[in-house]
Amino acid sequence: MAAEMLGAAGLRTVVAEAKPSPARKFLMAGKSGLNLTKDEPIPRFMSAYGPRPPALQAALAAFGPREVIGWAENLGQEMFTGSSGRVFPRAMKASPLLRAWLARLDGQGVELRRNWRMAGLGDAVEFDTPDGVHCVSAGVVVFALGGASWARLGSTGAWTDLLSPHVALTPFAASNVGLSIRWTPHMRPHFGRPVKGVRLHAGELESRGEFVISSSGLEGGGIYALTREIREGAPLYVDLLPDWPDMKVQEALARRKPKESTSRFLSRAFRLPPEKRALLMEFAGPQPEDLSRALKRLEMTGAVPRPMDEAISTAGGVRFDSLTEDLEARARPGWFFAGEMLDWDAPTGGYLLTACLATGRHAALGALRAIS
């Protein structure tokens, strides 16, 4: 996105890509439909980001959901909005959009250098390339080096060693990641089952998304939305009956038949499916002392985030207080920063790609002002 803005302004623009082909993480996102953005009121959209310093706020305000949709449509992609507000290309994959985007950049004269890996920084940027070491001197440099998840796609976070003398960094941490739980053997028959119709919360965050019981723990959007608070140590709770008021639950409990087993009662009175009953037994025991609390506020103890390289995204990175509102390094004028390498966090659902596009555009506009 930064290259598109700079190329459109008529500047000679070079994109140095460390991998043999570009946009590998973008293509991976497309395997599940390429959720580009979320069509919802701007205040609710903005609230998904944390932290949200002025530079990120400005970038998203200028290039939010409507602008992302218009940009994709301008590249020939028909878009549609799902029932949850998530926005996808009608083709439900990333490759057509990427081909059109690369063709646009090529038409602007943007040069794509493949297998160019940044190896040194100074007055020029040094790259290891198939033809040896190359140094590039440029009027401005936009760094878009990614976070530290999915290393095989290129996001290793190794750039921190080169940039740490010049910008302040927050250590990387896993975001949008599953949780590890050591299950007892009785959970084995439920591995792979989705859990729907629940309300999850941790700390100040809440989610109505679903999740999947896996052999290693819990996966899915409902869990990913709470990563920020779980990462900080907040306990994870699930309401197994979010559409049942407490009074209705109490009335059903009062009608329990004598000597009726807990499992049979849960199935009969609440239509609780096997996977929900299994979770209740796992975390509250076969005979919960307070069944009402277990149904409405079940604490899923022992849940810890999976390793960072399994995360969809990462929190941490270049701190905004070491950058100007144009995303330019205060200590190194002419260096600009964009994307996941910045210290922001958001759940899946279109927020990640939108912020990457918006900050790429914002950094490029800052770069144009710097050299005008």
Average pLDDT over residues 15-42: 94
* pTM for the predicted model, two decimal places: 0.93
How many C-beta neighbours within 10 Å does residue 84 have? 15
The reported pLDDT for the residue numbered 90 is 96
The reported pLDDT for the residue numbered 257 is 92
The reported pLDDT for the residue numbered 130 is 97
Q: Do 216 and 190 touch, CB atoms closer than 8 A?
A: no
Q: Do 313 and 157 touch, CB atoms closer than 8 A?
A: no
The reported pLDDT for the residue numbered 136 is 97
**pLDDT, tens only, 127-136:** 999 999 999 9
Residue 126 is given by DSSP the state E
What's the whole-number average pLDDT of the chain?
A: 96
Where does the pLDDT of residue 330 fall: very low under 50, low under 70, confident under 90, or very high at 90 and above?
Answer: very high
**pLDDT, tens only, 188-234:** 999 999 999 999 999 999 999 999 999 999 999 999 999 999 999 99
**pLDDT, tens only, 84-118:** 999 999 999 999 999 999 999 999 999 999 999 99
Q: What are phi and psi of 132, to 5 degrees?
A: 105, -165
Give CA–CA dist 117/162, Å, rounded. Answer: 12
Distance of CA 183 to the CA centre of its chain: 27
The reported pLDDT for the residue numbered 150 is 86
Q: Do 344 and 323 touch, CB atoms closer than 8 A?
A: no
The reported pLDDT for the residue numbered 32 is 82
Average pLDDT over residues 35-57: 95
